Amino acid sequence: MKYLRWLLFPFSLVYGLVVIIRNWCYRTSIFKSEEFNFPIISVGNLNVGGAGKSPMTEYLVRLLKNEYKLATLSRGYGRTTKGFLIADNASTAATIGDEPAQFKQKFPDITVAVCEKRAVGIQELIPNHEIIILDDAYQHRAVKPGLSILLFDYTTINEPHLMLPAGNLREPFSGRQRAHALVVSKCPPQITMHQQDEIIKRIRPYAHQQVFFTAISYLPMRDMEGMAVSGEIDADTTVFLLTGIANTQPLLKHIRQFTQNVIHHKYPDHHQFGPKNITKLAEAFHVCNTSSKIIITTEKDAQRLREPALLPYTEALPVWVLPIGIQFLNNGKQPFNQIINHYVREHTTHRSIH
């Protein structure tokens, strides 16, 4: 892998130069970056892959939805549709993307919207909402959010700061300067203060940035319909793990606390599952002769498993869905909430929920 990085390094230089020029054009107003007199919170990261953006977006939704009329706006990665759409009960991962579909299922009372051009989507949402949360929008420079939350994945924090394709950075590490708050996600709950200090040295926050540390909070498992399931996983259980997410390390580590018998059917991030994938899983599951066995998947993957073409295959299988949330470490929850609430109160002109 090290040698491959060196081979790809010249391409990273070219890609990095293009991104630097693009960012400079936005910074100097050669390219238009639209700013709104309206509370807009952006959640994003510098690296490709998952850093916990969806759990952070959901955390913000829970924090704010009871006091303000709120909307989430995503690009809708992987959807088959185009333009501005508001999710409804018939929306699926194919029509709006897996993460927006997850938001809509978990928070049916908020507005979940998708649009490739975020400025267009914001204009559509402003008249009937009080806050908009932009999911995975840190590199979307055509909009200048009022508050940007930048996530760093603890499991990859020590990787070289190299641009794509040799590394995993979407933009130079200096791009972190635009963020208002930095969050190191997926930390082990027992992370020491010394380890945190080393991470802060690695991140090198600017004076205006506060750094928070969070861990994954694994919630009780549910079935594909969102209902609580009965049963436990123990050392004798065989788990068939089905994933199409960027980073599976924390999930595998969590499951292996209960059983070492894990058969992982691993696919790329946002993989569109097809009948062949589920048939392969079903065959392996039925061949396994252990008396205790279960299939586990993530919330995001479950959205793509709900496609009508797959239902004849998935309905015959005992699939458990493992939801996750976030847990702030070092008593960071209250100061983080204060940053969010203060920003929203300062920039909300209409406080009442319509």
In the chain, where are the structural domains located? 33-218+327-347, 238-322
For the domain covering 33-218+327-347, report its CATH number.
Answer: 3.40.50.300
What is the predicted pLDDT for the residue at 50? 78
- Residues 265, 242 contacting (CB under 8 angstroms): yes
310-352 residue pLDDT tens? 989 998 899 999 999 999 999 999 999 999 999 999 988 544 4
User: Which H or E run includes 322?
Assistant: strand 319-322
DSSP 163: B
pLDDT tens string for the chain (354 positions)?
Answer: 566 777 888 899 999 999 999 999 999 999 999 999 999 999 999 998 778 999 999 999 999 999 999 999 999 988 999 999 999 999 999 999 999 999 999 999 999 999 999 999 999 999 999 999 999 999 999 999 999 999 999 999 998 889 999 988 999 999 999 999 999 999 999 999 999 999 999 999 999 999 999 999 999 999 998 889 988 899 999 999 999 998 899 999 999 999 999 999 999 998 999 999 999 999 999 999 998 999 999 999 999 999 888 989 998 899 999 999 999 999 999 999 999 999 999 988 544 444
CA 115 to centroid of chain Cα atoms: 17
**The token pair that represents 19 in the structure block:** 């991104």
User: Which H or E run includes 314?
Assistant: helix 311-314
What is the predicted pLDDT for the residue at 231? 81
Q: Of all residues in the chain, what percent carry a pLDDT higher than 90?
A: 84
DSSP 221: P
For the domain covering 238-322, report its CATH number.
Answer: 3.40.50
Strand ranges of the sheet holding 147-153, from the earlier edge strand across to the other edge: 85-86, 111-114, 70-74, 131-135, 40-45, 147-153, 181-185, 210-218, 324-328
- Give this prediction's pTM: 0.92
Nearest to 319 by CA among 289, 278, 291: 278
Residues 6+ apart with CB under 8 A from 220: 228, 323
Q: Is 76 left (phi over 0), alpha (psi -120 to 50) or beta?
A: left
